[in-house]
A = this chain, B = another copy of it.
Amino acid sequence: MIILYELGAASGARYSSFSWRTRMALKHKGLAFETHPVRISDKAAISFSGQGKVPIIRDGETVVSDSWKIAEYLETTYPTAPSLFGGPAGLALSRFVNAVADRQLMAALAPVCALSITQLLDSGDAAHIRAGFEKGFGKPLEELHAGREGSTKAFRRALDPLRASLRAQPFVCGATPGYADYIMMSPLQWARIVYPEPVLEADDAVGAWFERMLDLHQGFARAEPARAARD
């Protein structure tokens, strides 16, 4: 049984975008796993990994951290299970997609969601998250939150290439979903879990695709409560 260590909120929410990439990858591979929530401030809980960040998986004697490295590990270690990448070119191109998600999508979505995340966390983790975002953006979270309408529009624009590719195919990876789909859904799942309002317009093709992603693997991602349902 693989063990996944991931951020867990006081509310019970499993809110890490990066962890959702790993969760969906494990489901895609058909691998059984259990998850252990970790508080941001609890470095001792993951000291076994030799570094300070989640997600981490422990698979028998093997410990792997970093969602991208975990995906590569799963593809290599379980080659007969359904492929995450569809070959070497697919893997290399998924790495580009991963960089788009981290550097453009998460960056565009963070000002929308930052204040809302802190409301899900205990005071220690909330202070940690607040300090990180306020340093990164150079302004108080309340000020970021006040500008959320414009930030939401900028995020929707950042989805333009995804939107265009979904006009021609049902999934980012083509006829069936793969790891690049899990990468791209992860910021939207993050927003779904931490932010009480929809970040997409109702008729957005990206939204229709995201619903398909929530349906996969017996509705696995949909089973995680949306923030709108928690409040």
CB distance from A154 to the nearest CB of B (A): 13
Q: Is A165 a contact of B91 with CB atoms below 8 Å?
A: no
Q: Is A92 a contact of B169 with CB atoms below 8 Å?
A: yes
Q: How many of these chains are in the complex?
A: 2
Q: Is A89 a contact of B165 with CB atoms below 8 Å?
A: no
Interface of A (DSSP majority class): helix
Residues of B within 8 A of A178 (CB): 89
Q: Is B86 a contact of A174 with CB atoms below 8 Å?
A: no
Interface residues on A, range: 20 to 34
Report how far A172 CA is from B94 CA in the complex, Å: 10
Q: Is A160 a contact of B93 with CB atoms below 8 Å?
A: no
Residues of B within 8 A of A165 (CB): 92, 95-96, 98-99
Interface pairs A-B: 5 shortest CB-CB: A86-B89, A92-B174, A89-B90, A99-B161, A93-B93
| Given A92-B174, A99-B162, 12 additional A-B pairs, CB 8 A | A83-B89, A86-B88, A87-B87, A89-B89, A89-B174, A93-B97, A93-B180, A95-B169, A99-B161, A99-B164, A100-B161, A104-B160
